[in-house]
A and B are shown apart, each in its own frame.
Chain A
Amino acid sequence: MSAVDQSHIRNFSIIAHIDHGKSTLADRILQITGAVSDREMREQVLDSMDLERERGITIKAQAVRVFYEASDGETYQLNLIDTPGHVDFCYEVSRSLAACEGALLVVDASQGIEAQTLANVYLAIEGDLELIPVLNKIDLPAADPELHGRAVADLIGGDPDDVLRISAKTGEGITEVLEAIVERIPPPAGDPDAPPRALIFDSVYDQYRGVVAFVRVVDGEFKKGDRLLAMQTKREVNAEEVGVMSPTMLPTESLRAGESGYMVTGLKAVGDLKVGDTLTAAKAPAETALAGYREVKPMVFCGLFPVDSDDYPDLRDALEKLSLNDASLVWEPETSQALGFGFRCGFLGLLHMDIIRERLEREYDLELLTTTPNVEYEVTTTAMEQLPVRSPVDMPPPTNIESIREPYVRCTILVPQDGVGAVMQLCQERRGSYVTMMPIEQRQQIVYDLPLAEIVTDFYDQLKSRTRGYASLDYELVGYRESPLVKLDILLSGDPVDALSMIVHKDMAFSRGKALVERLRETIPRQMFEVPIQAAIGGRIVARETVKAKRKDVLAKCYGGDISRKRKLLERQKEGKKRMKQVGSVEVPQEAFLSVLTLNTDDSKGK
C-alpha cells in the first residue's frame, strides 16, 4: 500500500445520539468506498459485540481506514474513528475526538439534538474539531429538516445551508458527506520528521496477540519492531506489528504522522496501556507527552455475587478476562454474610455496570446477584482519619463518624418545555440544587447539581418516564460535598442483611426504610415460617412488615400415572428456589436485592 501524503489524510469521527444512525452511516461509508463488499456487509460492522448491537450502542472505539476518490480526482485516506456513545465513557470519547481533526455531527431529522450529543459537541468544539452537521433519516415522514437544521447550525455557529441532509438507510447524500469530509476537515498538522508521538485512543485484548492499541500518530513514524515508550506510565513495549483496520487488521510497514491504525504490543492486559497515553520511541523519546491524559476512576460500585456459590472461581476468571479488555473495570473480593463470597466491582457508570453484568451472565453463563449500586463516600472519622467507603458494609458506626462527603455530579438535562416541571421536581426529590436553565432549540436545558448516589439508582428511568421519554441526560463529576448521611439496615427475621443496607440522606431515611420494607414484603414470597422485615437506623427500628407463613403448598393429586411429572414439577420448583438466595432461614429472591434500586419511585407516592 503506497504511502499517502499527509495532505490527503482525513481523520474524523461521528458524533451522534444513540439510535440517530451513527452505525448505519459508518456502514454506508465502508460500503461506498468499497472497504466492505456488499456480500460481506453485515449490519453495523463497527459494533463487534452482540451486546452492543442489541443495545444499539458502541462501546469499543475503533479506527477504520478507507480510500475515497473525491470529485477533485484525488484519492484520500479517510480514517473513521468510532467513539463510544454513552455518558459513562466521556473520557474515552474525548480521546477519540482528540485523534481527529473533524467530526460528523449526526442528528436525527425527526428528533433533533439530545443532551448526549450536546455534551460531545462541546467536547469536539473544545478540541477545535471541524464539525460537519448532518441530518439523518430525512426519509422518515416525521423528519423536520428545516427546524432541526436551523437548530444544529445555531448550536455550532454555522450556516443552515451547510447542514447536509441524508438518509444513511437509503444511501441518499452519502457521497456529499464524503466530499464534505475531504473539503471541510483539515488534514493532520503533525511534523513527520519530529520524534514520534502517537495518541492511544483505545485498546483491545486479543488472546493470541495481547493488547492491541489503537493509535493516532501525531508526529514522526512508527515501524514494526520499534521499541516504544508509553510516556505516562513509563512502560516500554515492542511494536510487534503495526497496521490499519481495513476494516479488519491489515499489517503495514509503518504508521506515519497523520495516520491512524493499530499496534500489537503483546502486553497481557489493556490496563497496562492507558487510553490517552502517548507512545514515543524508547531510544529517542519526544520531549512532551500529548495533552489530555487522565487516570480513569470508577464512579459506581456494586457487589457481584454468584447465585450458586460454587461459581465463585468462575466469576473470578470471568472478571479477569473482562479486565483484559476493560481497563476501567476494577474489582476486589468481598465477603457478605448474606450472599457469601463475591466481588465488589467499580464501574464508570450505570451503563458500564449493566454491560459488564450482562456479559458475565451471557458470555460466561453465570447467574449473579447484584447489590444496590453505591458511590464512593469520603468518611472522616472522629479520630480525624479519612476513609473511602465503597460499600455500606464498610461504613463505620455513627458514633465514629465526624462527617461524610459524597460525590456530586452536574447534570445537564434537555427537555421539551412541558417537561420542565417534572424534571425540576425529580431533581428536587433527589436532593438536587438548581444551577441554571437556558433554551436550546425548542427545548430547555436544565442544569442541576445532584449527588451521584441519587443518579445511580433509577434516576434515568424516572426521568424518561416522567417526560414520556423526551428528556435526555448527561452528567459530569463536579467534586465531593458534605452531606448528613446515615446507614439504613434491613433485618430479615431479626438478622441484619448486609447486602440490603444502603446509605441515605437522614431526612429520607424514614420514608426509604418504610418503602423498602414494603417492597421487600411484596418481593419475598411466603415461606414456611413467618418472616419479619425491619428497617433500622443505628439500631433503632423505623419500619416493620411481615411476610406471612405459607399456609398451603401441596401437589393436588399424585397417582401412578403422574409420579414422574410431579417429581419433575418439584425439580422445577427446586430450580426456582435456586434463583433464591438463602439468607439465614429466609429464601430471598434476587429481585429483592434490586428492589432497593427502584425505591425512589415510591417517594413521590409517599409525599
Chain B
Amino acid sequence: MSSAGHLYLHTPFCGSRCGYCAFTVEVGVLDRRDAYTDALLAELAVEGERMGTLRTIYVGGGTPSLMGPERIARLLDALRPRCADDVEISMEANPETVDERSLAAYREAGITRVSLGVQSFQAGMLRVLDRQAGPEQAVAAVDAARGAGFESISVDLMFGVPGQTDELLDADLARALEMGVDHISWYELEIKPRTALERAGAALPDEDWAADAYERIVGSLEGAGYRWYETANFARPGHECRHSLGYWSADDYVGLGVGAVSTVNGRRWRNHAGVDAYIGTLSSGVPPTRSVEHLDEPTRRRERWMLALRRDEPMDMRWAGPPDHPEALERLVEGGLIDVDADHIALTRRGRFVQNAILRQLMEYA
C-alpha cells in the first residue's frame, strides 16, 4: 500500500487535565482553536499526497468536543473529497461538553460515531480521576447521542482505579449494560510518570484483584452479546471501530495535529508538542517539527505480532512474518495459551489475558 486509508486528527484542547492524563493536551488556550483549525488544514494540504481514499477518520484529543461543531465541520468539509462512501468518522467527546443539540450538529458535520469519555458512572471514581463530569452527565450524554441520531455510540470506562471495590466495578458493569451502548473500551488504569495520580502516590490494585476484575468485565460483556474484539475493546456485532482495527492490522495511517503520529511505508513520524509552535510553522506552510523513526522489516514484523494478537481473530503468519522463536510455539500450545492452525495463530481465551508474556516468548523485541 502506498498511501494511508486512515486519518487521525488530534485536538489538544482540554478544560482541565485529568489525574491520569499523560497525553498531548493544552489547558486554557481555547482562544487558539481557530488558528489551530487553520493549521490542521495547512498540514492536511502539505501531507495530502500521503493519503489515499480515506476509509476512516478519527478525531481524538484532548477533548475534540471542545472544538465545537463549526470547526469540526470546516475540517470534515475539507476532507470530504478524500473520503470513501462508507467512511467511518469517529469523534471523542467528554460528557460535560455536549448536549443533544451540539451532538446533532456534529452528526450533521459528518461524524458517524461518537466515543464518550465516561470512565466511570460512580461519583467517587470520577473524583479520583479528576474528571469534570458527574455520573448524571455521563448518562445524559449517552441519551443525547442517541437522541441526536448516532447509530454507533461508544463509551470509555476504566478499572483498577484507586479505591475501586468489587461493588463499584459491578455497578459500572451493570450501568454500562443497562445503557446498551454499541461499543465499550474498558481500560485498566495506568499510572504514568508525571501525572497527578503518580505524584499523589496512587497505588494500583494487586495483580489478582485486577485479573479478577478484567475477567469479570470480559465475561459480563460477552455474556451480554458484546464481542471482545480487542484486548480492551468490546462491540456489538458490526459496531467495531474500523479506525482502531486499522492500527491493530498494522495499516498505514496519517496523523495530523500536535503530537500526532503517522506511519506510512515503514516511516513513522511524530509531530512535536506545543500548540503555538505548531500553529506558527504551519502558518507559513512549513510542516511542523517532527521526530522520525525508520521501521526496518524485523521491527515491522514484531509490531504486526504485537498489534494483531490484540484482536480476537486468528493472525495469518504469512502476512505477519514468522516468530523469532518458533520453538516456543509448541510449549505455548501445550500450555493452552495459543492455537496454531497451519499458518494461523490465535491466542486462546486464557492467552489473551497474558498477551505480553506470550509475545516475550515468541518475539525478540530487541
Query: At the interface, yes or no: B5 with Cβ under 8 Å from chain A?
Result: no
Bound CA span A564–B214, Å: 25
Residues B200-243 near A (CB distance < 8 A) = 207-208, 210-211, 214-215, 231-232
Please encode chain A, from 540 to 556, with 1 for each CB lying within 8 Å of some chain B CB and 0 for all others: 00000000001111111
Query: At the interface, yes or no: B113 with Cβ under 8 Å from chain A?
Result: no
In the complex, which residues of chain A have a beta carbon less than 8 angstroms from the beta carbon of B281? none
Bound CA span A552–B356, Å: 9
Residues A552-569 near B (CB distance < 8 A) = 552-564, 566-567
B307–A571 touching, CB < 8 Å: no
Query: At the interface, yes or no: B188 with Cβ under 8 Å from chain A?
Result: yes
Minimum CB–CB distance for A524 against chain B, Å: 14
B263–A551 touching, CB < 8 Å: no
Residues B325-366 near A (CB distance < 8 A) = 331-332, 335, 337, 352-361, 363-366
In the complex, which residues of chain A have a beta carbon less than 8 angstroms from the beta carbon of B208? 551
In the complex, which residues of chain A have a beta carbon less than 8 angstroms from the beta carbon of B310? 558
Bound CA span A180–B188, Å: 74
Bound CA span A470–B145, Å: 73
Bound CA span A551–B350, Å: 8
Known: A554-B356, A560-B255. 5 other contacts (CB 8 A): A528-B337, A528-B357, A553-B353, A567-B302, A575-B366
In the complex, which residues of chain A have a beta carbon less than 8 angstroms from the beta carbon of B39? none
B353–A551 touching, CB < 8 Å: yes
Query: At the interface, yes or no: A122 with Cβ under 8 Å from chain B?
Result: no
Of A552, A555, A560, A577, the residue contacting B207 (CB under 8 A) is A552
Please encode chain A, from 288 to 314, with 1 for each CB lying within 8 Å of some chain B CB and 0 for all others: 000000000000000000000000000
In the complex, which residues of chain A have a beta carbon less than 8 angstroms from the beta carbon of B363? 570
Bound CA span A526–B293, Å: 34
In the complex, which residues of chain A have a beta carbon less than 8 angstroms from the beta carbon of B87? none
Residues B261-281 near A (CB distance < 8 A) = 261-263, 268, 270
Bound CA span A559–B260, Å: 11
B357–A559 touching, CB < 8 Å: no
Task: Name 27 interchain pairs, CB-CB below 8 A, sorted by A.
Answer: A528-B332, A528-B335, A529-B335, A551-B208, A552-B207, A552-B214, A552-B354, A553-B355, A554-B355, A555-B355, A555-B356, A557-B231, A557-B232, A558-B231, A558-B306, A558-B307, A558-B310, A560-B6, A560-B262, A561-B259, A561-B260, A561-B261, A561-B270, A564-B261, A567-B306, A573-B365, A585-B331
Minimum CB–CB distance for A578 against chain B, Å: 9
A567–B303 touching, CB < 8 Å: yes
Bound CA span A340–B276, Å: 58
Minimum CB–CB distance for B202 against chain A, Å: 15
A554–B353 touching, CB < 8 Å: yes
Contacts known (A553-B357, A554-B356, A556-B232); A561 close to B255, Cβ less than 8 A:
yes
Query: At the interface, yes or no: B253 with Cβ under 8 Å from chain A?
Result: yes
In the complex, which residues of chain B have a beta carbon less than 8 angstroms from the beta carbon of A558? 231, 247-248, 306-307, 310
Minimum CB–CB distance for A279 against chain B, Å: 54
A559–B247 touching, CB < 8 Å: yes
Residue of B nearest to A585 (CB): B331
Tally chain A residues at the interface, Cβ within 8 Å: 28
Query: At the interface, yes or no: B150 with Cβ under 8 Å from chain A?
Result: no
In the complex, which residues of chain A have a beta carbon less than 8 angstroms from the beta carbon of B299? 567
Minimum CB–CB distance for B56 against chain A, Å: 11
In the complex, which residues of chain A have a beta carbon less than 8 angstroms from the beta carbon of B210? 552
Interface size class, chain B: 35 or more
Query: At the interface, yes or no: A184 with Cβ under 8 Å from chain B?
Result: no
Residue of A nearest to B190 (CB): A556
Residue of A nearest to B188 (CB): A556
Contacts known (A552-B214, A559-B247); A570 close to B359, Cβ less than 8 A:
yes
B356–A553 touching, CB < 8 Å: yes
Bound CA span A14–B347, Å: 69
Bound CA span A558–B187, Å: 10
Query: At the interface, yes or no: B8 with Cβ under 8 Å from chain A?
Result: yes
In the complex, which residues of chain A have a beta carbon less than 8 angstroms from the beta carbon of B187? 556-557
B359–A551 touching, CB < 8 Å: no
Contacts known (A528-B358, A554-B354, A558-B310); A563 close to B188, Cβ less than 8 A:
no
Bound CA span A269–B305, Å: 53
Q: Which of A560, A574, A577, A585 has the most CB of B within 10 A?
A: A560
Minimum CB–CB distance for B45 against chain A, Å: 21
Bound CA span A192–B163, Å: 86
Query: At the interface, yes or no: B244 with Cβ under 8 Å from chain A?
Result: yes
Residue of B nearest to A561 (CB): B261
Bound CA span A574–B359, Å: 10
Please encode chain B, from 180 to 205, with 1 for each CB lying within 8 Å of some chain A CB and 0 for all others: 00000101111000000000000000
B331–A560 touching, CB < 8 Å: no
In the complex, which residues of chain B have a beta carbon less than 8 angstroms from the beta carbon of A529? 335
Minimum CB–CB distance for B1 against chain A, Å: 15
Across chains A and B, which 6 residue pairs bring their CB atoms closest together, nearest first? A551-B211, A552-B211, A553-B356, A571-B365, A570-B365, A553-B354
Residues A511-544 near B (CB distance < 8 A) = 526-529
In the complex, which residues of chain B have a beta carbon less than 8 angstroms from the beta carbon of A561? 8, 255, 259-261, 270
A526–B359 touching, CB < 8 Å: no
In the complex, which residues of chain A have a beta carbon less than 8 angstroms from the beta carbon of B293? 564
Bound CA span A552–B210, Å: 8
In the complex, which residues of chain B have a beta carbon less than 8 angstroms from the beta carbon of A562? 261
Bound CA span A563–B269, Å: 12
Contacts known (A552-B214, A559-B244, A570-B359); A564 close to B354, Cβ less than 8 A:
no
Q: Which of A554, A555, A585 has the most CB of B within 10 A?
A: A554
In the complex, which residues of chain B have a beta carbon less than 8 angstroms from the beta carbon of A585? 331
Bound CA span A559–B306, Å: 11
In the complex, which residues of chain B have a beta carbon less than 8 angstroms from the beta carbon of A557? 185, 187, 231-232
Minimum CB–CB distance for A310 against chain B, Å: 13
In the complex, which residues of chain B have a beta carbon less than 8 angstroms from the beta carbon of A574? 360, 364-366
Bound CA span A529–B336, Å: 10
Minimum CB–CB distance for A527 against chain B, Å: 8
Q: Which of B259, B299, B335, B365 has the most CB of A within 10 A?
A: B365
Bound CA span A561–B357, Å: 23
Minimum CB–CB distance for A261 against chain B, Å: 53
B231–A555 touching, CB < 8 Å: yes
Residues B142-182 near A (CB distance < 8 A) = none
B307–A563 touching, CB < 8 Å: yes
A560–B261 touching, CB < 8 Å: yes
In the complex, which residues of chain A have a beta carbon less than 8 angstroms from the beta carbon of B359? 570
Bound CA span A416–B190, Å: 52
Bound CA span A564–B262, Å: 11
A560–B8 touching, CB < 8 Å: yes
Residue of A nearest to B6 (CB): A560
